[in-house]
Amino acid sequence: MVFGKKRQRLEGGQSQNQSSPTDGIHDIEEENYPIEEEEVANTSTTINSSASSSANNCKPLLDEMTFTTNGTGKNPGGTKRWICNHCKKSYNKFQRIRKKVEEAENAGISLSLSKSTLNNSHSRPTSTTCPIAKSFGTVERHQVDILIVRALCANGIPFNVLRNPDFLAMLKGVNQAPKDYKPPSFDRARTTLVDECQRQLEKELTLVKDTWTTQGTSIVSDGWTNVKRQPLINVVASNNCGSMFMYAKDFTGQERTGENIAEFLLESIEEAGPSNVLQIVTDNAANCKAAGKEIEEVHKHIFWSPCVVHTLNLICKDFAATFLWMSETYKKGKDIVKYFLNHEKANAIFKSQSDLELLKVAKTRFASHYLLLKRLSCCREALATTTVLRCWREWVNSGDEHTKALGKEVTSTIIDDEFWEEVENILVITQPIYSMIRFADGEGEKMGEIYEKMDCMIGEIRDPLINNKHAVDYMKMEEILVSRWEKMNITMHCLGFALNPFFYDSKYLNAKAPGEVPRRAPNQDREIVAEVLKAFDRIGEDENEKAELRKQLAKFQNKQGMFGTTYARIDATTMSPISWWSTYGSETPELAEIAIRVLSQHISSSSAERVWSPYSYIHNIKRNRLNTKRADKLVFIHSNIRLLSRFTTSYKEGPCKKWDIDPESTYFDDSTVRLEDLRWDD
């Protein structure tokens, strides 16, 4: 600045030379004034003495000049005249100081500016650490790395934890801690610190809870039995932004009747806020259905929805139980897998011919029939090669009578072309069901698509059976599909379908559905219209509000007002339904609010079922002394920290990308991401 306190401080520092600093002076013009040789010669001694005195000066250029006039007043400033100590000429431009010194330097009579105090003050200090010292630091860091790996191995912690942002934050905190820092004690960590961590996390979860007021939420619940044989029922609040674990309750000594489950879920509804909750999602058990009916009587705007994934899995089981050729083929495939996995020698011979391993899928696994036969089909060539090897024949013949009989039976099945033909028939029929399970099992905006996808699934099953030898079985398959669909076809699914703008697009309607079935807009489907009106009767508080909702729905379906603009028609096929309603729903605010809340809901209870994976990890046989309350706290912290991390940029890119997806984890096998990693759809 050319005035103020800074100027006063600078003037005070130069009072002994009767000169004032001029750091803030700006030249109005620049001129070149050549230095005469005789003047340079006469001033060489002065320059050298001035340079030596400026070595310890914080502003060395001021030693190359002498001011002839000083500013006056409280805040002196403005242009000042000065005389160059080298050429003895008078100037009034501050930039000329450096110019004159550079000219003197070029003439060889002045110290280089690069060696002046000014430039030295801005130069970076060079490292004084010698290479030997640096090498000792490298050795020390390597020893620390070894200690970390030892700790991970000693405690059975997966190496994937090194990608965990919370683990990295812990190391950073330890590095910045006091020198004598010691970790907390065992008792303090598992009591007060866990409680404090939970309270802190509850504050951070406000980010998720704030979405409940605009997008609503679904109360998702599922049951489980822990290692102590204690029956537990959990509660998860889910919407388009994620699934937040709330708590779990121990039902020891209580019957899991519909009334008791309803009472438990009503408490969670009150905690989340009745106005924020749109639906209850459970499995298809009779007691859960009864609980849903009781909740609908208490809160008429809350809908009970059965889990879509459970319904689809029941369809697969119905197929296997109804069609003998399916059950026999699955049994033969299961026997092959069981034989190889139960005999180490046979499995070793197979692995020498295959990069893939056979899968033994649990009965509780969704679409277990499809997964087992799909992997078996991928390994067909390797299995056939295994059975013709000499070592295989020698091993089969060297066993006892039972092993020989099983080995010959397995070999006969592997070389049977009819068996593999039936395997392919099952895969072709059940592949659409498996794709639907994959779709419904994930998180995201699914409520607006599930009705249409279920409708298309029937056609996708019918198409490959047209010229198939099992074409006569299609009528029975369709009967099973329709029967299950009627139990799952609920009001929320129909409402989501009717409020999805994509299904009113002309290109979509002109294209044929699978099975060459013509498509219809939602408002042309009698069943959809009836369910939508039923939903409005439960959502609307009075007749005027219900009438307004019907009026706004007609405006949306007929593409009137803003809904009929070119941009709205184009974006209906490119935007997500929620984004579309947020953009174009201003003319129908009540309907837009309902659409956003409905389309943000989940369609399955998978989010609640996944909670049991960390439960089984935390509360396993080795930790069976944990009471349910403490285990509940640990699961709350474990699950919700992972939920919050997915809102960060580091989770989507960088070294911590999807850090919670651990292929080494023994409790992550039920994840949809794990299914993608195993490439069962290849």
Predicted confidence at residue 8, as pLDDT, reads 42
| Lowest-confidence pick of 78-92, 100-114, 431-445, 520-534 | 100-114
Q: At 477, give phi and psi (nearest 5°).
A: -65, -45
Q: Report d(CA 616, CA 631) in Å as an integer.
A: 10
Q: Provide the mean pLDDT of the chain.
A: 79
271 vs 275, 298, 477, CA distance in Å?
A: 11, 15, 43
pLDDT of residue 47: 37
Q: Which of 72-81, 117-126, 199-208, 550-559 has the lowest mean pLDDT?
A: 117-126
Q: Give the integer Cα–Cα distance in Å for 604 and 493.
A: 12
Token duo for residue 422: 């039936």
Q: Dihedrals φ, ψ of 277, to 5°? A: -90, 130
Q: Which of 124-138, 401-415, 479-493 has the lowest average pLDDT?
A: 124-138
Q: Which residue bears the tokens 């809350």?
A: 302
Say if residue 56's pLDDT is above 50.
Answer: no
pLDDT of 674 over the 50 cut: no
Residue 281 has pLDDT above 60, yes or no: yes
Q: Which helix (H) or strand (E) holds 91?
A: strand 90-91
The residues spanned by each domain of the chain are 5-122, 202-307, 313-426, 443-448+476-599
What is the residue whose two structure tokens read 């390797």? 382
Buried-exposed string 591-623: b where 16+ CB fall within 10 A, e elsewhere: bbebbbbbbbbbbbbbbbbbbbbbbebbbeeee
Q: Which residues contact 278 (CB under 8 A, 6 or more apart)?
A: 216, 217, 218, 301, 302, 303, 492, 597, 598, 601
Q: What is the mean pLDDT of residues 501-508?
A: 93
Looking at residue 33, its pLDDT comes to 38
Is 134's pLDDT higher than 80?
Answer: no
Q: Is the sign of the CA dihedral 559, 561, 563, 568 positive or negative?
A: positive
> What whole-number distance in Å separates Cα of residue 634 and Cα of residue 247?
11
Q: Taking the alpha carbons of 427, 429, 434, 439 in that order, is the dihedral positive or negative?
A: positive
Which DSSP helix (H) or strand (E) runs through 325? Answer: helix 324-342
- On whether the CB atoms of residues 10 and 24 are closer than 8 A, the answer is no
Residue 29 has pLDDT above 80, yes or no: no
- Residue whose pair of structure tokens reads 């119905």 in the numeric block: 318
The answer to which of 15-19, 382-386, 520-524 has the lowest mean pLDDT is 15-19
Mean pLDDT (whole number) for 609-632: 65
Q: Is pLDDT of 335 > 70? A: yes
Cα–Cα distance, 236 to 241 (Å, whole number): 13
The secondary element (H helix, E strand) that includes residue 277 is strand 277-282
Would you state the torsion angle of the CA atoms of residues 331, 336, 341, 346, taken in this order, to the nearest 10 degrees?
A: 160
Q: Is the pLDDT of residue 575 over 90?
A: yes
The confidence score (pLDDT) of residue 444 equals 76
Tell me, what's the pLDDT at 27?
38
Identify which has the larger pLDDT, 147 or 618: 147
C-alpha distance across the termini of the chain, in Å: 70
Mean pLDDT over 536-553 rounds to 93
pLDDT score, position 90? 78
The Cα–Cα gap between 612 and 605 comes to 12
Place of tokens 């060459």: 516
pLDDT of 30 over the 70 cut: no
pLDDT of the residue at 7 = 40
Listed residue (588, 500, 585) closest to 549, CA to CA: 588
Quote the tokens at residue 312.
């689809």
Name the strand (E) or helix (H) holding 194.
helix 194-204
Name, in order, each residue with C-beta under 8 angstroms of 19's C-beta and a sequence gap of 6 or more: 62, 65, 66, 67, 70, 82
**Rounded distance, CA 410 to CA 436, Å?**
32
Radius of gyration of the chain (CA): 39
Between 108 and 570, the higher pLDDT residue = 570
Q: pLDDT higher for 109 or 545?
A: 545
Of how many residues is the chain composed?
682
Percent of the chain whose predicted confidence (pLDDT) is above 70: 73
**Amino acid in the structure at residue 205:** L
Question: Edge-to-edge, what's the strand order for the sheet holding 217-225?
Answer: 242-250, 231-239, 217-225, 277-282, 303-306
pLDDT at 22: 38
Alpha carbons 380 and 387: distance in angstroms, whole number: 11
Right CATH number for 202-307 from 3.40.50.720, 3.30.360.10, 3.30.420.60, 3.30.1310.10?
Answer: 3.30.420.60
Burial class (CB in 10 A: 0-12, 13-18, 19+), 61: buried
Structure-derived torsion over alpha carbons of residues 564, 565, 566, 567, reported in degrees to the nearest 10: -120
SS3 at position 90 = strand
Instruction: Say which amino acid occupies 380.
Output: R
Determine the Cα–Cα distance for residues 613 and 542; give it in Å rounded to an integer. Answer: 44
Distances from the Cα of 465 to the Cαs of 169, 190, 420, 431, 474, in angstroms?
Answer: 56, 59, 17, 13, 7
For residue 569 the two structure tokens come to 């028609």
Helix/strand/coil (H/E/C) assignment for every residue in 482-520? HHHHHHHCCHHHHHHHHCCHHHHCHHHHHCCECCCECCC
Q: Which residue has the higher pLDDT, 255 or 99?
A: 255
Burial of 365 (0-12, 13-18, 19+ CB in 10 A): middle
C-alpha 374/C-alpha 682 separation (Å) is 9
Q: Are 438 and 680 in contact (CB under 8 A)?
A: no
Q: What are phi and psi of 158, to 5 degrees?
A: -60, 150
pLDDT band for position 597 (50/70/90)? very high
- In this prediction, residues 515-540 reach a mean pLDDT of 91
Residue 593's Cβ-side half-sphere holds a number of Cα atoms within 13 Å equal to 12
What is the tens place of the pLDDT at every residue in 153-199? 998 888 888 888 888 889 899 889 888 889 999 889 888 999 999 99
Which structure tokens are listed for 405?
């009989």
Query: What region, left, alpha or beta, does residue 505 occupy, with left being phi > 0 and alpha being psi -120 to 50 degrees?
Result: beta
Please state, in angstroms and rounded to a whole number, the distance separating the CA atoms of residues 241 and 517: 35
CA pair distance 146, 325, nearest whole angstrom: 57
Name the residue among 404, 344, 356, 362 with its Cα closest to residue 383. Answer: 356
pTM score, whole prediction: 0.70
What pLDDT is recorded for position 663? 45
**Cα angle value 192/194/195 (rounded, 5°):** 65
Pairing of β 303-306 and β 82-84:
unpaired
| 570-599 average pLDDT score | 94
Rounded to whole angstroms, the Cα distance separating 133 from 111 reads 36
